[in-house]
Chains A and B, each alone.
Chain A
């Protein structure tokens, strides 16, 4: 096995890696091409004019959440995810989202519900509040991410238990350096003595964001960590932990800053109170923007080929998209690192014991 790897030159490995990514990009692009062509043919049957490729609509549709998961065009490529609704008028309703769609229209009303722009409301009663608990694309990605995390890390834990005292093997040997990196470079220096109490949360956070970012780069997947609700939830967890675990020094610094003349303390007070909330907001927006903007840039470059309707532009744009995909892989890792780093910084500042008072 090792002699086989020694004979392959690193250059050919890199080249084949590029080819794989290139074909993945082409297939991502093919999906759009067939969507445009099929719409063209469908409209021809009805005798209408074919629509031009609307780049902004395609891009925004791919970045946002959806009730239907389009993997590829055709009957077997669309997964109609279940819709779960609760309203005080109609109670609990569970049905497949295929009922809302009727051969490329979606104004079809079903069971008294209407689907407009991914928002479900009761037909004829727009103001009634409908609690939409459906398994949308992002929820399905979240569940997939959770299952992946549980599978991978139970294997790593089993490996750690079986190989205690020996050299790590298999999947444990792949993840152990990353876990040690998070512990020694991110959590231990920033949190200090009691880092082991927060280490499980930090590791979960890091790997959840990392896997979520990487899954989002796979063509055909949903945009999990680019959903502001998901990043807001993660930031709220950090916010809760910071403020519940904050000790007297932390709250003292906010409300009654020591070492500062009295009039200045009154001025600093509102600034510090706002500062409590800007920390999770910045965490939310940073991760959301980094991932969503990356996806928008990739989709815009792929759409270039369809706007110009030219194969030559397609080749050029696929090459550029290939390199930007590699940057996005780096960004996926860096954003996971930065979120975990700032979380541990905030928690560290909250539980720091000040020896100089």
Chain B
């Protein structure tokens, strides 16, 4: 394999690695914000904590799907290289 092709492939795999890391950061920030405001809401009104917990879990699942979407694309890049 020529050096140019090897370099391209290594750039692609490096990009995939960085992308997966950025996706994890995005998910962490998003779920952190949700968790933070959920905690605040539960501290203000403990009787609503059941509803807040339910809503928090669902929104965390949605954010996680977005992060996993990026993860799958990065995995595809690294597997196809």
Any B CB within 8 A of the CB of A60: yes
**CB-based contact A335/B61 at 8 Å:** yes
Any B CB within 8 A of the CB of A331: yes
Number of interface residues of A (CB under 8 A): 18
Given the contacts A285-B69, A289-B65, A289-B69, A334 and B75 also touching, CB distance less than 8 Å = no
Encoded as 1 (CB less than 8 Å from any A CB) or 0, chain B from 66 to 77 comes to 001101100100
**CB-based contact B72/A290 at 8 Å:** no
Q: Which of A56, A293, A331 contacts B79 (CB 8 A)?
A: A56
- Residue of A with least CB distance to B73: A289
In the complex, what residues of B have CB within 8 A of residue A286's CB?
A: 62, 65
In the complex, what residues of B have CB within 8 A of residue A345's CB?
A: none
Any A CB within 8 A of the CB of B4: no
Interface SS of chain B: helix, strand, loop or mixed? Answer: helix
**CB-based contact B72/A334 at 8 Å:** no
Any B CB within 8 A of the CB of A231: no
Any B CB within 8 A of the CB of A324: no
Q: Which of A290, A292, A337 contacts B64 (CB 8 A)?
A: A290
> Chain A nearest CB: distance from B69 CB in Å?
5
Whole-angstrom distance between the alpha carbons of A118 and B56 in the complex? Answer: 41
Interface SS of chain A: helix, strand, loop or mixed? Answer: helix
> Chain B nearest CB: distance from A294 CB in Å?
8
Given the contacts A289-B68, A293-B72, A296-B72, A60 and B62 also touching, CB distance less than 8 Å = no
Q: Which of A290, A296, A337 contacts B65 (CB 8 A)?
A: A290
In the complex, what residues of B have CB within 8 A of residue A241's CB?
A: none
Q: Which bracket fits the contact residues of B? A: 10 to 19
Any A CB within 8 A of the CB of B57: yes
Any B CB within 8 A of the CB of A338: yes
**CB-based contact A290/B79 at 8 Å:** no
Any A CB within 8 A of the CB of B58: yes
In the complex, what residues of B have CB within 8 A of residue A334's CB?
A: 57-58, 61
**CB-based contact A338/B61 at 8 Å:** yes
In the complex, what residues of A have CB within 8 A of residue B62's CB?
A: 286, 338
Q: Which of B57, B58, B68 contacts A290 (CB 8 A)?
A: B68
In the complex, what residues of B have CB within 8 A of residue A59's CB?
A: 79
Task: Jot down 5 A-B pairs with beta carbons below 8 A, ordered by A.
Answer: A285-B69, A289-B72, A293-B69, A331-B64, A338-B58
In addition to A290-B61, A330-B57, A341-B58, 15 A-B residue pairs with Cβ atoms within 8 Å of each other are: A56-B78, A56-B79, A60-B79, A285-B69, A286-B65, A289-B68, A290-B68, A292-B72, A293-B69, A293-B72, A296-B72, A331-B61, A335-B65, A338-B58, A338-B61
